[in-house]
Amino acid sequence: MESELYRLFYPRGIAVVGASKNPSKIGHIVLKNILDGGYKGRVYPVNPTAESVLGLPCYPSVSSINGEVDVVIVSVPADKTIEVAEDVGRAGAQFLVVLSSGFKEVGNKELEERLVQVARKNGMRVLGPNIFGYVYTPAKLNASFGPPNLLPGKIAFITQSGALGIALMGYSIVEEIGVSSVVSVGNKADIDDADLLSFFLNDPNTQAVIMYIEGISDGRKFLDIASEFSARKPIITIKAGRTEFGAKAAASHTGSLSSGPILWEGVLRQVGALQVKDVQTAFDYARIFERNIKLPGPNVLVITNGGGAGVQATDTLAERGIRLSEPPKDYVDYLRTFLPPYASTRNPVDITGGASDEYYYLALRKALEHEEIHSILVLYCQTMTTNPMKTAEAIIKAVQETDIKKPVVAGFVGGPESKEAISYLSRAGIPAYPTPERAAEALSAIYLYSKRRSVVETRLAYLKTLYGKSQRLVETKIIGEK
């Protein structure tokens, strides 16, 4: 069955109300982003005072457009949005995407409610208000005033903060993380996180979701869909308002009621979501979850050319509940055939400071083939006797030759050459990070998700036996339900 939000992401036509000739106005930038992004549907600028904008004929109103319009982007001051919504209602569009600020977040709750009422009366859904727009790369659609040129990929962002969303878009370009979608939800007057999760759940272009959440209005709806989502794909949450002070700041930002940190942690754990404190960690996790690699088992092997890096990684893993066990005996025997006698063949395997690319290749290749080794963390510290790019090549060669699907994560510590090697590895499909701790933490996320997913799956199956089709997790109100 087609998702209720299908036409938001695959519109046949888009109108931009408030499209302006003035290149510094938001209505101009959004229109330019839509055109430059390569969107293939029809685009209609709407502005009663302009004849054409960016080479397209302008319409005085949406109802005067002779053509199919599924989505209307609204970039006029808040007090003009109701008349626009009424006009759009007459035109029969499905979605109003309201960029304008000046609603609930500044105490103008009535205006926001009125906007939703007009939309509902006309069978429309509202995204926003108080947003920077949205992006969906499979449809080459950038209906936002964020940066252009997003890298297409498998990660979707849902963000309640506009500024953070725009920063995330920029960061994803710098970090070379491909995105399927970025959706600014702002005040969430109508379309909310749960609605969007429902779409991304069945979206083959989305592998994982990062969410920045300040507050949830319909707790039960969120619990239901987030659980169902986590049972299939990871959710990485950056929860704002973790402290009392942050919660107050969130209230004046999007008018959200942010619940207490302990309650939140429990709720997120219950639905199987992963919680991170900052954007960097969210991206580190996203890099891991870009690929849908199943975890074959619990045994992690660490291969390193630096003892300290190995210790740091071991600590990070242990803090996240992952204990390294001794490598299998036949693997150790194999290592002994080429490693110098002073190398350590325990776990972490220290292939020594002078380790050649060949050592990395041999140690990794055999580990990939070994049934009792389930995931591998490869650490490299740049030295004058080694070359980061050559080491990266050796790692890629081992992975590609064996074609065995188990998680391999790399941590490369060093200067600009190591940074280059990190990008090279990541582009070849091996998540790589600039510190052993970040690499270890990212690997641990796969284990944590796998554990949470199986708990959620078990609970959902149990609830299904109790309530038939219903997947309700709780019968009580959890987070500030309306």
Binding site for ligand ACO (CB under 6 A): 17-18, 20-22, 25-27, 46-50, 75-77, 80, 84, 99-102, 130-132, 162-163, 166
205 burial class (0-12, 13-18, 19+ CB within 10 angstroms)? middle
CB of 81 vs ligand ACO, minimal distance in Å: 8
Q: Which C-beta is closer to ligand ACO: that of 162 or that of 306?
A: 162
Helix (H) or strand (E) holding 36: helix 26-37
Q: How far apart are CA 374 and CA 394, in angstroms?
A: 20
Residue whose beta carbon is closest to ligand ACO: 162
Q: Which C-beta is closer to ligand ACO: that of 20 or that of 444?
A: 20
Q: Which C-beta is closer to ligand ACO: that of 46 or that of 322?
A: 46
User: In this structure, are residues 395 and 304 in contact, taking their beta carbons and an 8 Å threshold?
Assistant: no
Q: Which C-beta is closer to ligand ACO: that of 49 or that of 476?
A: 49
CB of 25 vs ligand ACO, minimal distance in Å: 4
Q: Which C-beta is closer to ligand ACO: that of 29 or that of 225?
A: 29
Q: How far apart are CA 230 and CA 452, in angstroms?
A: 8
CB of 61 vs ligand ACO, minimal distance in Å: 7
Assign 377 to helix, strand or coil: strand
Q: How far apart are CA 58 and CA 14, in angstroms?
A: 13
User: In this structure, are residues 447 and 374 in contact, taking their beta carbons and an 8 Å threshold?
Assistant: no
Q: How far apart are CA 351 and CA 18, in angstroms?
A: 63
Q: How far apart are CA 167 and CA 161, in angstroms?
A: 10
CB of 19 vs ligand ACO, minimal distance in Å: 7
Q: b/e for 350-375, b at 16 or more Cβ within 10 A?
A: bbbeebbbebbbbbbbbbbebeebbb
CB of 279 vs ligand ACO, minimal distance in Å: 15
Q: Which C-beta is closer to ligand ACO: that of 107 or that of 429?
A: 107
CB of 180 vs ligand ACO, minimal distance in Å: 21
